[in-house]
Amino acid sequence: AQSVTQLDSQVPVFEEAPVELRCNYSSSVSVYLFWYVQYPNQGLQLLLKYLSGSTLVKGINGFEAEFNKSQTSFHLRKPSVHISDTAEYFCAVSEGGGFKTIFGAGTRLFVKA
C-alpha cells in the first residue's frame, strides 16, 4: 500500500532564507508525485508534479522538487522564501492508472520577517 510521510509538521524560516520541505513515500509500483499548497481559507492548488523523465521538477512561485527513487523521496525546495509563501504544503502520491491520491499530513511553512 502507498503511504506518504512528511517529516516536519512545522518549518519556521526567515524571509529570503532557503527552505526544504521533506517528503518520503512508499509504494510497490511506479508512482506519480505531487506537491500541493494550501493558503489560508483557500483550496489546495498544485505547485508541481513528477510524472517521468528529469528528476528535477520546477513549479510555480520559484519552487522545485527532486525525485530520488533510491531514497523514495520528493523533497520540495525554494532558494529564497517570501512572507507570502506562508501556507500548508502537502506531498501526495498516486499510482499510474489508479484513482486514489494519497496525501501526507502536511507541513506548515511559516515565513518570518
Partner 1 sequence: GAGVSQSPRYKVAKRGQDVALRCDPISGHVSLFWYQQALGQGPEFLTYFQNEAQLDKSGLPSDRFFAERPEGSVSTLKIQRTQQEDSAVYLCASSLLRTSGSDEQFFGPGTRLTVL
Which residues are near partner 1 by CB under 8 A? 4, 6, 9, 32, 36, 41-46, 49, 51, 90, 92, 94-106
Q: Between 79 and 96, whose beta carbon lies closer to partner 1?
A: 96
Q: Determine the Cα–Cα distance for residues 70 and 4; give it in Å rounded to an integer.
A: 15
Residue 87 CB-half CA count within 13 A? 20
Query: Which is nearer to partner 1, 56 or 60 (by Cβ)?
Result: 60
The pairing of beta strand 87-95 with beta strand 101-103: antiparallel
Cell (9 digits) for 74: 520528493
| Least CB distance to partner 1 at residue 105 (A) | 5
* Min dist. Cβ of residue 73 to partner 1 (A): 17
Question: Smallest distance, Å, CB 82 to partner 1?
Answer: 23
Rounded to 5 degrees, φ, ψ at 31 are -130, 160
Q: Among residues 16, 32, 28, which one has the least CA distance to residue 101? A: 32
Nearer to partner 1, 28 or 42 (CB): 42
Q: Quick one: 56 or 105, whose CB is closer to partner 1?
A: 105
